[in-house]
Amino acid sequence: MAHFMHENNVVSTRKKPGELNKAGFHLKTVTKRRLTKMKAKIFLLMVIIVVGLALNVQAASVTFEPLVVELKVAPGETGRTAITVHGFSNTAYSLNFLVGSRLEKSNIPGKWLTAAYLWLDSSAEGTSTATMDLVISVPSGTKPGIYSGVLVPDDMRSSEAITSKGVMVAIEVSDS
């Protein structure tokens, strides 16, 4: 055993690995516990940093005009309408996304829609606007009825996350 003096002139002993400490634990066990606690503290610190960064992420808002699109299209025909798309963010942004490739709560077959690629830019905080054509091709032999769904932007390569409620689309397929 090694002996050394503390500040208060107290002599203590340093035990060799494999020896028991005062509580009856092996020194290796005590060292492993300290390492485990240190690893847990480092992990917790990393989680706090990641969560802090995630909460600081900006999101761009994308809105559509009109909010609801209603089209009447006969089987074998194509319908189209213009939709205005607005992008907004608190910082400069570049939003690249598709409209028409992603539907939610929908019974519209995806192949009916021609996706429109949009790019909205702003070199400073504010709004940018673009107009797109929503093109819907209803195949011959489609049963008459109402087909509806929500078109939402499908993020391609944007400088920040996109939030959007999308645009509601209702297609009335009439008898030929």
How far is Cα 72 from Cα 139, in angstroms, rounded to an integer? Answer: 14
> Residue 46 — pLDDT band, cuts 50, 70, 90?
confident
Is it the case that residue 76 has pLDDT exceeding 60? yes
Say whether both 71 and 112 belong to one domain.
Answer: yes
Say whether both 132 and 161 belong to one domain.
Answer: yes
CA distances from 134 to 34, 40, 125, 140, 162 (A): 63, 53, 28, 19, 20
Q: Would the pTM count as exceeding 0.85?
A: no
Section 27-34 average pLDDT: 62
Structural domain tally of the chain? 2
Say whether both 38 and 72 belong to one domain.
Answer: no
> Strands of 113-114's sheet, edge to edge?
113-114, 126-137, 78-89, 59-65, 161-163
Strand 93-99 with 116-122, pairing: antiparallel
Domain housing 137: 59-173
Mean pLDDT of all residues in the chain? 77
How far is Cα 118 from Cα 32, in angstroms, rounded to an integer? Answer: 56
Say whether both 111 and 166 belong to one domain.
Answer: yes
> Residue 120 — pLDDT band, cuts 50, 70, 90?
confident
Is it the case that residue 4 has pLDDT exceeding 50? no
Contact between residue 148 and residue 108 where contact means Cβ atoms under 8 Å apart: yes
